[in-house]
Structure 1
Amino acid sequence: MSDFILNASVRNDLGKGASRRLRRANQQVPAVIYGGEAAPQSISVEKTAFYKAIEDESFFSSVLTLVVDGNKEQVVVRDLQRHPFKPLLIHADFLRVDATHEITLRVPLHVLGEEKSIGIKDDGGELHVLANEVEISCLPKDLPDFLEVDISELALGTTLHLSDLTVPAGVTIVALTHGTDHDNAVLSIVKPKVRGTEEDEEGGEESGTSAE
């Protein structure tokens, strides 16, 4: 679990107009903290550190420390609203974290061993990644920054599912709690499609004939 600390202040000037003024000042990002037993709290987060933090992939799968006017809050990111065409953050939602309660979060899936993969290097296959993230549930202390899957020994024609992933102790893949029907594929090594074969040409001729 990565250690991210962001400084913030309580925001009393509320509303869309206030948020616009805050963003124009170019120093703070409007945000809200909610969840737990405390009431939702509107805050503004120091912009420079926030923008630097979101460049790190693990920021979105970590328990963060928000220091709000000197008081520490343990939170996770629930939503980031971005400007439709400018590289700007419009608003952020943070969810309070309780060390004694499990949280549900999506974490990145990292694929290892592609350059050594039997199915790719020896058999000429292609890697198709079907899921870049996996939804997990665990206590905050057990939250991993990401999950890894090593494909170095996988042969051509192999498909890996959620149930094939190795997860740390205390971590549950949420989809698998709903039954085997939810054991979705996450990646496969397949034979590359060959374009311009006789079969493709015949198919093209047939479709051309039918169009007439």
Structure 2
Amino acid sequence: MKVVAFARTQQGTGASRRLRNAGQTPGIVYGGADAPQLIALDGNALFHALKKEAFHGSILDLEIDGKTQQVLLRDFQMHAYKQLVLHADFQRVDASKKIHTKVALHFVNAETSPAVKLGGAIVSHVLNELDVECLPAQLPEFITVDLGNLEAGGSVHVNDLTLPAGVTALTHGQNLTIATASVPAGQAAAEAAAAEEKK
């Protein structure tokens, strides 16, 4: 994805306010061998780009005054109630150095799992994103979590995932739970009562 920005020289609250009044969003690019650089982006384009999941988890081509560099979106601040992005931070990436970032999890096959089809369970997503480390070129847009074999009362952990080549999950030695399948208490009681009646 490509993002177009312009270098800016003025900083401070007043300068930022003037930028926003002109429909632009102040930002900064940092990291790598170069010094941090103040930038301005089209506020409306940035607002709509932030709605796309890929914008948050992909390497972006940031063009500043005609020169392109690869960056990751690291942070952004939204206005409390207006459709307005107040600030955006981008980090430069080096193609030869591993990056540490979060990747969204996409859950599939929950409705066909034994937990839902046979057990009447409710699947809860414990995590919606995962900390990973990889080279920029290997960064996936998302990681698929297949719930097709999930049994009622069971759960899916990080170690159950099939991660793309070159991608390592950063879990600090913990096998984190990603999703669980629990049977609602009322239903479990009803099933137990039905079982008792059959005896």
TM-score normalised by the chain length of structure 2: 0.91
After TM superposition, the structure 1 = structure 2 runs for residues 141-152 of structure 1, keeping only pairs within 5 Å, are: 141-152=137-148
Structure 2, gaps ≥5 residues long: 190-199
| Residues in 1 aligned to 2:185 and 2:70: alpha-carbon distance in whole angstroms | 49
Aligned to 2:17: 20
What is the DSSP-based 3-state SS (H/G/I as helix, E as strand, rest coil) of the residue aligned with 1:127?
strand
Could you tell me whether the CA contact under 8 Å between 1:6 and 1:46 is conserved in 2? no
> Are residues 1:119 and 2:115 paired?
yes
User: What is the rounded CA distance, in whole Å, between the counterparts of 2:175 and 2:110 in structure 1?
Assistant: 23
User: 2:184 is matched by which residue type in structure 1?
Assistant: P
Aligned ranges 1:1-212 → 2 under 5 Å: 4-26=1-23, 28-175=24-171, 178-179=172-173, 182-194=174-186
CA deviations over 1:125-161 (Å, ceiling 9, x no partner) = 1101100110100000000011111112211111111
Contact 2:95 2:136 in 1 (8 A): yes
Task: Decide whether the 8 Å contact of 2:95 with 2:135 is kept in 1.
Answer: yes
Alpha-carbon distance between aligned partners in 2 of 1:150 and 1:162, rounded to the nearest angstrom: 12
User: In the TM superposition, what is the alpha-carbon distance from 1:193 to its structure 2 partner?
Assistant: 2.2
Task: Structure 1: state its 5+ residue gaps.
Answer: 198-212
CA deviations on 1:167-190 (whole Å, 9 max, x unpaired) are 001000011xx32xx211111111
CA distance in 2: counterparts of 1:107 and 1:150, whole angstroms? 16
- Choose between structure 1 and 2: higher helix proportion: 1
8 A Cα contact 1:9 1:69, kept in partner: yes
Shift of 1:61: 0.4
Hey, what's the Cα distance between the residues in 1 that align with 2:145 and 2:74? Answer: 26
3-state SS of paired residue (2:2): strand
Q: 8 Å contact 2:47–2:83 — kept in the other structure? A: no
Contact 2:43 2:85 in 1 (8 A): no
State how far apart, in whole Å, the 2-side matches of 1:71 and 1:78 are: 20
Pairwise CA RMSD of aligned residues?
1.5
Q: How many residue pairs are counted as aligned between the two chains?
A: 189
- Name the aligned partner's letter for residue 180 of structure 2: S
Shift >4 Å, 4+ stretches: none
Q: Residues 111 and 150 of structure 1 are in contact (CA less than 8 Å); yes or no, is this contact kept in structure 2? A: yes
CA distance in 2, matches of 1:152, 1:160: 11
User: What secondary structure is seen at the aligned counterpart in 1 of 2:127?
Assistant: coil
